[in-house]
Every structure is written in structure tokens, then in C-alpha cells.
Chains A and B, each alone.
Chain A
Amino acid sequence: MAAASSSSLHATAAALHGVGAAASSKPRAAAPGARSVRVAAAARRSGSVRARGGMVARAAVAVTCLVFCIPFFFCGRLLHEVLLFEALREALIEEMKADPTVYVFGEDVGHYGGSYKVTKGLAEMFGDLRVLDTPIAENSFTGMGVGAAMKGLRPIIEGMNMGFLLLAYNQISNNCGMLHYTSGGQFKIPVVIRGPGGVGRQLGAEHSQRLESYFQSIPGLQMVACSTPYNAKGLMKAAIRSENPVVLFEHVLLYNLKEKIPDEEYICCLEDVEMVRPGEHVTILTYSRMRYHVMQAAKTQVNKGYDPEVIDIRSLKPFDLHTIGNSIKKTNRVLIVEECMRTGGIGASLRAAIIDNFWDYLDAPIMCLSSQDVPTPYAAPLEDATVVQPAQIVAAVEQICQ
């Protein structure tokens, strides 16, 4: 695929045509190949007009018009290239412009511009009250966000690293998740809690945490994980607009992914999966950074003659069992690849949900590749061994497809 990006991690983006993406009214940009077909058709049309002879002048006008019109065929498809953190920022800017009750706060989000530049420039645009630098007090500033949400504002709470939000666990679980229920529906808490998590490059145990498993049991929360600039922007916008509290998991290593995203406004559905690569032999369910390890492994698998179906589950709570189930009905084999901890992780819940609902369709036991249940070590080879690597995924597919 002639995708415009140079990053190998980005190779799959051009192949995307997601179920989730269809939630927006216009379909996502067609792959570049399709675009070239359209241009060729326009050229053919103009060629046939020219062939009529004696109408050269009219034909020339028509051609000129077409040449000018071609860009307008794509006015639904004008794209611009962004990095993932820029996509998140675009989403923030658009939503903050549209709704004055939306505001962002967290440590160093304002004047510093955000530790991963997601909020760079926003303080100049919207002022210090709407892009608020907080002291280092996760528990209470998360609580303040919940209180403000009870009173009708729409805060976006940034944890500088997801791991720091463990300090705010009480507020997230008891207040954020439960207030809508314990008040009998009187208060809604439309907060977005976001931040980078996951294993980075030798950041050490406390800064390499995956909190999906910790938050997934909290009733009342929704959880999504973004993995591409396209779905990062779409999910951020959807999360801001949602009336429920949404935890948006970003990944430290994915902020510099490059992709072309549409100029026009779009939103991704919070509860849908994204079909990354349709296939026939095995359903691979993954999310966040592991998507790229899976796609890397998929290249090897395809060479070996396997045809994996890769689904980025995106919505970690609730799972889109509808689409996942349809895939399982087709392939009858499931491999889950996640960065979450093995114990009580997203994979564990997903396995249980699949067994409950789709047992009859399984031809093989569900395999789940997760991170090891250890604090992430500092040393590079040990850190690599903590998370799932493409070689392991290839081996797992071979094993499951026997």
C-alpha cells in the first residue's frame, strides 16, 4: 500500500476500514489505491470528450473544470498528516471550542504544554482556567474534577502517567463510578480521565504500569484504548461528549505515530472494535501497542500461509462482543494479545466473556498472551521479556491453528 508514512509501525493504517469508523456519517478516507482509480476515471472521461473532435475548445474547458473539480470530489476526503499526540490535541481544541464547559487539568498541562505535548498551546488559546495546571495532588484534583462534573462542567483529567492515578483510585472508583447510581440518577459525571500508560523504554517499574485491569471492575466507568492517530482523535472526542465517565488509555510509545486523518470532523464510537485485518484462520484480539506487534507478526504469518483476522478491541469496557462474536463464528479460533497483566487483566475477562457466549464456536482453547506478572524491570532484555513480542505471537498462531 502506498501509505505516505515512513514509520513501520504505521504500515497498517492504510488498510484500516473499521466497523468503528463507520459510526461517523461519512466513511473514512479510502485507501490511496482507490483514490488513484478515481483520478484515472476522471481522466478517461475527459479523454472521451476530447475524442469527439470538433469540440476541442469545449473539451478543453471541460478538462479544465474537471481538473479544478477533482479536489472537490474529495472535499469529504481532504486529509492532513498528524502525529498521535497532535491528533489528541486537535480533538481537545475542537471540543473545547464547541463547548465552553469542557476544560482540561492536570500536572504541567498548561504553561509547560503537557509532558507529552498533548496540550501544547492550549493554555494560550483558552486561558489558564480552562487549561489548568494543578499541584501534584492526584487524589484531590481528580476529586475536584468529579465535583465540578456533578455541577455540570465537563472536565478532562490528565494523569501525567496512568500509574499516578492509583493515588486517585478512591475518587475514580467510589465517586466517579458510583455517584450516578447512589444518587438514583440525579448526578452525571461526564469526566474523561486520560493519560499515558504501558511499558515504555526502560522507564522503571512504577512508570510502566498497565491499569486496565485495576479499573475494569469499577461499575459505571467506560474504558477505551487508542492506538492510531485516527482513533485517538475520534475516541477523545467521543469520550468528551459522553455523559459517562470514560478512561482513555494512551500509550507512551505511540505518541509519535504518524497518519493522515480527515480534515472534516469525525467521531469514533466508544463501544466498537476496529477491524484491522480481515482473515479466516484465527481471530487475534488486541489493543493499544500490542496491535503493532500483532501486525508485525501477521506479516510473518501471512508468509507462512496463515490468514489471521486482527481486531483492535479499542473498547475495554464494555467489550463489543457482537463484532468479536461474528469473527469467532467465522474463524473458530481466538488468540488474545495484550500488554495488561496476566492476572485479572483484560484478556482474562475477555476470555471469560467469550467462553460464556461463544463456546460452541470454538475449535481450540482460547490462547491469551499477556505481560508477565512482574514489576517491569529496568534492564532492556528483561523489559522486552515482560511484554509480548512478535515471535511469541507467531508461535502462538502456529500452535492454535494446528
Chain B
Amino acid sequence: MVAAAVLRHLGAGTARRVVALPLTLSRGVSDSTEPLTVETSVPYKSHIVDPPAREVATTPRELVAFFRDMSVMRRFEIAADSLYKAKLIRGFCHLYDGQEAVAVGMEAATTRADAIITAYRDHCTYLARGGDIVAAFAELMGRRDGCSRGKGGSMHFYKKDANFYGGHGIVGAQAPLGCGLAFAHRYRKEDAVTFDLYGDGAANQGQLFEALNMAALWKLPAILVCENNHYGMGTAEWRASKSPDYYKRGDYVPGLKVDGMDVLAVKQACKFAKQHTLENGPIILEMDTYRYHGHSMSDPGSTYRTRDEIAGIRQERDPIERVRKLILTHDLSTSQELKDMEKEIRKQVDTAIAKAKESPMPDPSELFTNVYVNDCGLESFGVDRKEVTSVLP
């Protein structure tokens, strides 16, 4: 009954939100903040550090919010799939469905003062950081109201005011960038950390180890998160890495292996990592996760793995189903109410797509904007300057 009231409030809240604001992810939709303890599905594996406890403190409100946020992300990615097949999204589109727990769990453990940087599978991380869903769809479709003004595309989502630094197409190139963000935290003596995400494919990049060395040398507050979905595009991890224990690869840097399909485990690990890194320097978190789609929309995802494997993971480890089970077991809601929520989310995503489709293509003059920062009136993109002189301030 309480749960029903909670969800009616939820429904009303979201209905209001649809009218007043574009759809964004939310926290704290449910009313109840009574503590609840849940045990993680599997124990943590650790490398030269004591792992955190398996018991995770949470609240009903948080669990419902997890369910909601992950469902929005799931819906977003499936909608992106359809848009891609309808040729409204072109180029590369790397989908995150299956991995939602990592984005949501991480966000629950951080504040907006912490920085997050990731590679090209960035749609859901952007949404988790408070990104606008309409702007996200518009960017995917290359429209003017996209979060990067239509000039970035799927692999270049950024949100500066939420300390989300993208959005990078070259595998592994974001690893040193993330350590640079951590350096800036340290330089400015900020009490904040950087979550530097990369994949099992990027884990073999030299620049990752270079950056790790510097982060450890200078005790930078960098948390390197390896989202191990076990396939670097079409190559399974055992075919690419001599040692697929990515959490151990840091050698002198401590590491933790986390069940990346369990949002509470992720949250606990990220909280632990944040505390650890502020005092001791970098730490590696390996998130054991899985992507249902192929590497990108041009990859069916079934030539290098079996459909049984994909179906099996969906059956046993799906992050949303796990939270649904938790909610139902603890009687925080009924099955029907959760289904209604999903239907509501589906409608909201469809509305967002419709709104994004209305956005026009960028103006041709946008081709030349943002090549340089026009701080001195300098407008040049090729060898010849368009402005005659520029005067420094």
C-alpha cells in the first residue's frame, strides 16, 4: 500500500515532469528513505587492497530510482537501435544496453564535482550525469539542438557543467585525459576524484600504463574503471590479453573486481574507491559486465559469441531484472506498477524522439564555428586568416 502510494506519487511526479521539463534521469523519486541492506551477488575480488563489505546500504527510494534510471537507459538504447535501422542515426553507434548498472551505480556513489570520462559507449553515462534526453537524441541525429550542436555525434557527448568529459573515439586515448583531470583536481586541491573509464580492449593500450604510472607516482585521485564486457569489438578477451585479470594489471596499483551487472555492488565499489583514492592515489575497478548488442550497430554481435550466451546472461544477470526482483522481494512495489513505469518511460522516450526530430539540421555556418576559440576575434580555419589583425586582451 505504501508502495502503491509511492508509485502513484512517482507517476504523478513524472507526469508533471513530462510537461514542465525535458526528460532527465532522477534520483529520489520514491518517498521512503528507510535504510535497507542488500548483499551483493558475488564477493569482490581484490588485488593488494582489502575489499569493501558485501553488505550494501540502500533505501527503497534509491532502488526504485535505480530501476527507473536503468529502464530509461535501456529504452534509450533500444530506441537508438531502431533509429539507426531507420537511417536517422548514421555512422557509428555503440550501445550500452546490458551495462546500465555501471553508469547508474557509479553516479550513485559520486557527486557532480567528481569528473567522469569515458570512451565512445557514452550515451548512458551522459544521461546518468544529468544529460538531457532530447539533446542526446538530437545529437545522434546530427541536429542543431544536439548536446554538441550536431558536430560530435554518438561518440562525442559531453556535459561540462556536470563534469562529464566525454565521449572519445580513439580507444584508450581518454585514459591519459582522465589522469589529467585528476591532476587538475590535485593541482587545485579539490576534494574530488576522476572516474576514468575504458574497456577490456583498451586495457592493452600502452598509454593506459603510462598514465597509470604517472597517476601512481604523483598520487592523483584517479579511479580507472575497466568496463570489461569480455569482447574488444570482435575479439574475446582471452584472445587479446595474456592476463584477462584487468584488476591485477596495475601491478603496484590496487584493484578490485566487481560484478558490473549488480548496481549495488558497483555503487559500493565506487564509494570505496573514491575514499581510497583521495588518500592513496589511483585504484583500478574492473566491472564484470556484458553488452547485449554487438560492438556497434554495424556488428551483429553473434559471429564471435553464441546467442545462447547472450540469452543466458540476459536471463541470469540482467541488471534491471535484478533490481526488479529486489523491489518485489522487499515489497516496495507491485509488478504491475513497475510495468506501468516502464510503459510510461517508453512513452516519454518516444516523446523525446519526436521532439528531437523536430530540431533542424545545423546551419552551414556551423561548419566553421568552434574550430578556434574566438577570444581575440581570430577567425581562421585554414592557412589564411579571415581577420586582418587580432589584438590580445
* A contact set with B: CB distance below 8 Å: 23, 101, 103, 129, 132, 134-135, 137, 139-153, 170-171, 174-175, 179-188, 190, 216, 219-220, 222, 238, 241-244, 267, 269-272, 317-322, 349-350, 352-353, 356-357
Contacts and interface: CB of A to CB of B under 8 A. Distances in A.
Q: Which of A180, A219, A244, A321 has the most CB of B within 10 A?
A: A244
Nearest to A132: B218
A146 B195 CA distance: 16
A241 B392 contact: yes
Nearest to B367: A181
A272 B391 CA distance: 10
B294 interface: no
A182 to B, nearest CB: 4
Contact of B180 (A139, A145, A241, A271): A145
Contact of A144 (B151, B158, B177, B390): B177
Contacts of B183: 144, 147-148, 153
Given A147-B184, A271-B378, A322-B388, 12 more contacts: A140-B214, A143-B176, A148-B183, A151-B115, A174-B168, A182-B166, A184-B146, A187-B165, A242-B392, A271-B385, A319-B383, A321-B385
Given A146-B177, A153-B187, A349-B383, A140 B169 contact: no
A322 B385 contact: yes
A216 B375 CA distance: 21
Nearest to A129: B187
7 contacts: A137-B214, A139-B210, A153-B187, A174-B168, A187-B165, A353-B383, A356-B384
Interface residues on B, range: 35 or more
A160 B173 CA distance: 22
A77 B149 CA distance: 49
B303 interface: no
B372 interface: yes
B372 A135 contact: no
A184 B152 contact: yes
Contacts of A103: 187
Contacts of A238: 392
Contacts of B160: 183, 186-187
A146 to B, nearest CB: 6
A147 B180 contact: yes
Interface of B: 115, 117, 146-153, 156, 158-160, 165-170, 173, 175-181, 183-188, 206-207, 210-211, 213-214, 217-218, 369-373, 375-376, 378, 380-385, 387-393
B136 to A, nearest CB: 13
A183 B166 contact: yes
Nearest to A181: B370
Nearest to B379: A318
Contacts of B181: 147-148, 150-151
Q: Which of B115, B167, B168, B390 has the most CB of A within 10 A?
A: B390
A270 B173 contact: no
B382 A318 contact: yes
A184 B151 contact: yes
Nearest to A352: B383
A117 B384 CA distance: 34
Contacts of A219: 371, 381
B152 A137 contact: no
A185 B160 CA distance: 10
A182 B151 contact: yes
A182 B152 contact: yes
A338 to B, nearest CB: 14
A139 B186 CA distance: 21
Given A180-B372, A350-B383, A174 B170 contact: yes
A174 B370 CA distance: 15
Nearest to B372: A244
A320 B385 contact: yes
B391 A269 contact: yes
A182 B170 contact: no
Contacts of B384: 318-319, 321, 353, 356-357
B180 A148 contact: yes
Given A175-B168, A267-B392, A318-B385, A151 B211 contact: no
A153 B117 CA distance: 17
B389 A269 contact: yes
A182 B165 CA distance: 11
A216 B381 CA distance: 11
Contacts of B153: 182
B389 A271 contact: yes
B210 A171 contact: no
A272 B186 CA distance: 37
A140 B370 contact: no
Contacts of B392: 23, 238, 241-242, 267, 269
B176 to A, nearest CB: 3
B357 to A, nearest CB: 19
B382 A183 contact: no
A368 B169 CA distance: 38
Contacts of B186: 129
A143 B173 contact: yes
A101 B189 CA distance: 12
A175 B147 contact: no
B185 to A, nearest CB: 8
B170 A139 contact: no
A150 B146 CA distance: 20
